[in-house]
Structure 1
Amino acid sequence: MNRFLLILAATFFLSSCGSVRNWGPGNKGISDIRSLHYLTSVEIPYNMEFRETVVGGLSGITYDHRKKVFYVISDDRSEHSPARFYEVEIGGWQRVPQVDFKNVIFLQTTTGRQFESRAGFLETLEKGKRPKYNTPDPEDIVYIPSHKGFVWVSEGELDSFNGVKMLVHPSVNLMEAGGRMLYAYPIPKQLKFGDVSGPRRNSAIEAVSLSPSEEKLFFCTEEPLIEDAPSLDSYDTGFVRIYQYRNTSRSSEAFYAYPLDIPNDPSIVHSDRKFGISALCALSDSTLLVLERAFIPGEGNKVRLFKVELKTENRVRTRKPLLVEKDYIPLEKSLVLDFNTLEDFPIDNIEGMCLGPVVDGKQTVVFVSDNNFNESQKTIFYLFRTY
């Protein structure tokens, strides 16, 4: 079965669906979101199978306002099933909401081939061949209405096996609705792996979002670049770079320095006190929701949602590391929601976030958690609305 009823976690349910917001040129975005009201959540069974794939590792979500369907991408590096994303319906808003998996689409190269798994690459190596490693680490996805396709981002890979380097730089990719990649956006050289600079492994490009006008595309790394926070001790003052692109020309316009939170307890050792950005959600050309999360041993998951306004004075113009060059104004963030303050909330490793439909005159926001294909973690869809 592919349809699952909710784990009831709230007594309030939406009564009727309103009109769907139109995206595209001229859309200035939604009204300001100051707080969110938790409705309920849906848990997907561990290792659920759908069309011969394992559902898990859901790390990004996006919404097609015209078709009224969601798309969720798995961060599976083609290990459990080929790299993929799913088409999902969230229905029953008038009764008890439910999640229904409708389709699976496999990520493909520009030639239309599915991406090889890490295991397949290693097997080829053992046969004495030297293939080029190209397995992506998909992390987030956003629907592009005018293109009727998607942009997805990959953290890439930086590893080695028996002296053979396994290197795939982080990427921002445009693909057709059917999954075939068309091209990769040009990204700053600072986002490519290096020995003493660039992103850390598993902390590279993590989140992507499109503004309602379709004018701006935003993406960011999960954690600071090496040159912006060379040691764990510098995380407390390090910044994540949020990049702003002009979507139509696929060209970089600016980047901003975003300050990460740290856990409240200063006694926690530095190695366990890292927050990272797991998702972005553009409310307009200049307003973003930013989702931060951390896992702290003995305490579990910590998840916080912030809002930032991207102002001209916040644009960083230096090419130097952010810890060296201080002639910039970091973004100021305001707390929208601390998930850990919610009662009876099944918090987990929340990684995906997007705007859903306008329901009963209220904007909905949907989150999804990544179970890392681990039985001790859960795949959960969380439903919220604005006040």
Structure 2
Amino acid sequence: MRLRTVLAGLTAGLAAVTCLTAAGPAAATPPRGHATPPSGHACSPHVLVDRFSDALDKTTYDGTFIGNFSALAVDRDGSLAALEDRSALVTLDARTLRPERVVPLADEHGAPLDSEGLVVEGDGTRLITSETEPAIRRHARDGRILDRLPVPSSLLVAPAGRAASNLTFEGLTLLPGGRTLLASMEAPISGDASDIVRFQTWNRTRGGHFGLAAQYAYRADARLGVSEVQAAPDGRLLVLERGFTAGVGNTVRLYLADPRHATDTGRIENVTGRPGVRLVTKTLLADLAACPSLGATAKQPQPNPLLDNIEGMTITGRDRTGRLKVLLVSDDNQNAAQLTRFYYLRVRV
């Protein structure tokens, strides 16, 4: 989501930082065989931060601005797919972050997309959310639209539905087994409690299509919205919550959530947190403000100069101790006061 559109009561814009890690752009390359980061890299008992890279900040490739990243995914050839929320999908070298290809995106009428969530399937098909309708479309590798998934009427942007503009499908993930797709709303819909967001799922049907399935309710922290969700190998979810307070900076928290015993809220008009509706359970893994700053600096007030407008997340594998290797990216909104930054985490779930 672009920062000029924010959660109710919040001010648009997040802090920026300008320095690279001490190793510079080469910090994007992990040390071979490195299993335990140096002491002092712990954000919490569950999360370690290895390093960060600003190598792509305010860069261009083949005449295209590289930034505005809202989602990440690992492609089938091992490269990184980085989704720009201004209608482009960028292929990056997973080791160096060097851009290799840019594919423009558009809707059925050729209009640009506010593209926010991304899944890359095993056959190379791209599932991409658009936040303005909202919509989820299946795209070929060249950007052609193959299909469009159904969306419950309540999740459409008002007046067609009950969602607020630019606060809809921010996260997207495919659950283990590849049969169920899950999209996370960024903010509540009208009629729900002010801290409840909906998670919608679809089940795969014939021909690679998806049909509507269960819906769940997730309670976000006060004044935070859900900016990304990724399925862990055991079916639980990594959920990224994000917010901003003017003069203070941004808050970014990583949760482990479990929807497997939650109530299907698809037929519940208003979710208020009342007894009888089992919400998605969640456990805090780390408040990223508690991470070591790793030498980062910020131009604006921040609780930790390492932080920025973090929107994208993907799981890239496991280390030798079994921790998940998680890659995050911030959305710079093509703004001189913000930054495109990649964060390399290890998460024990």
Please, what TM-score do these two structures have when normalized by structure 1?
Answer: 0.72
One of 81, 90, 109 as aligned partner of 1:71: 81
Aligned to 1:293: 242
Shift of 1:212: 3.1
1:338 aligns to 2:287 (yes or no): yes
Q: Is the 8 A contact 2:56 2:97 kept in 1?
A: no
Q: Distance in 2 between matches of 1:16 and 1:181?
A: 41
Mapping of residues 172-321 of structure 1, within 5 Å: 172-195=136-159, 197-229=161-193, 235=194, 238-248=195-205, 249-262=209-222, 274-284=223-233, 286-316=235-265, 318-321=267-270
Shift of 1:88: 0.7
Aligned to 1:152: 128
Mapping of residues 83-162 of structure 1, within 5 Å: 83-91=87-95, 98-109=96-107, 115-116=110-111, 135-145=112-122, 147-156=123-132
Q: Distance in 2 between matches of 1:178 and 1:341?
A: 41
1:36 aligns to 2:58 (yes or no): no
Q: 1:300 to 1:313 in 2, by over 3 A?
A: closer
3-state SS, counterpart of residue 99 of structure 1? coil
Deviations for 1:20-64, whole angstroms, at most 9, x for unmatched residues? xxxxxxxxxxxxxx8221100111454311111111210100112
Q: Is the 8 A contact 1:216 1:285 kept in 2?
A: no
3-state SS, counterpart of residue 340 of structure 1? helix
Q: Distance in 1 between matches of 2:234 and 2:105?
A: 28
3-state SS, counterpart of residue 187 of structure 1? coil
Q: Distance in 2 between matches of 1:44 and 1:326?
A: 49
Q: 1:285 to 1:182 in 2, by over 3 A?
A: farther
Number of paired residues? Answer: 303
Q: Is the 8 A contact 1:14 1:359 kept in 2?
A: no
Deviations for 1:113-135, whole angstroms, at most 9, x for unmatched residues? 8x34xxxxxxxxxxxxxxxxxx3
What code does the residue aligned with 1:188 have?
P
Shift of 1:245: 1.5
Shift of 1:13: 5.2
- Gaps spanning 5+ residues in structure 2: where? 1-18, 36-44, 295-305
Q: Distance in 2 between matches of 1:196 and 1:299?
A: 36
Q: Distance in 2 between matches of 1:313 and 1:209?
A: 18
Q: Distance in 1 between matches of 2:242 and 2:55?
A: 21
Q: 1:257 to 1:298 in 2, by over 3 A?
A: same
Aligned to 1:21: none
Q: Distance in 2 between matches of 1:253 and 1:285?
A: 20
Shift of 1:327: 3.6
Please, what TM-score do these two structures have when normalized by structure 2?
Answer: 0.79
Shift of 1:279: 0.3
Q: Distance in 2 between matches of 1:87 and 1:370?
A: 16
Q: Distance in 2 between matches of 1:108 and 1:202?
A: 17
Aligned to 2:335: 374
3-state SS, counterpart of residue 224 of structure 1? coil
Q: 1:99 to 1:8 in 2, by over 3 A?
A: farther
One of 41, 51, 63 as aligned partner of 2:62: 51
Shift of 1:259: 0.3
Q: Distance in 1 between matches of 2:55 and 2:21?
A: 10
The worse-fitting range, judged by mean Cα deviation, of 367-376 and 195-204 is: 195-204
- Gaps spanning 5+ residues in structure 1: where? 19-33, 77-82, 92-97, 117-134, 157-168, 230-234, 263-273
Q: Distance in 2 between matches of 1:137 and 1:109?
A: 10
Shift of 1:311: 2.4
Shift of 1:317: 5.2
What code does the residue aligned with 2:127 have?
V
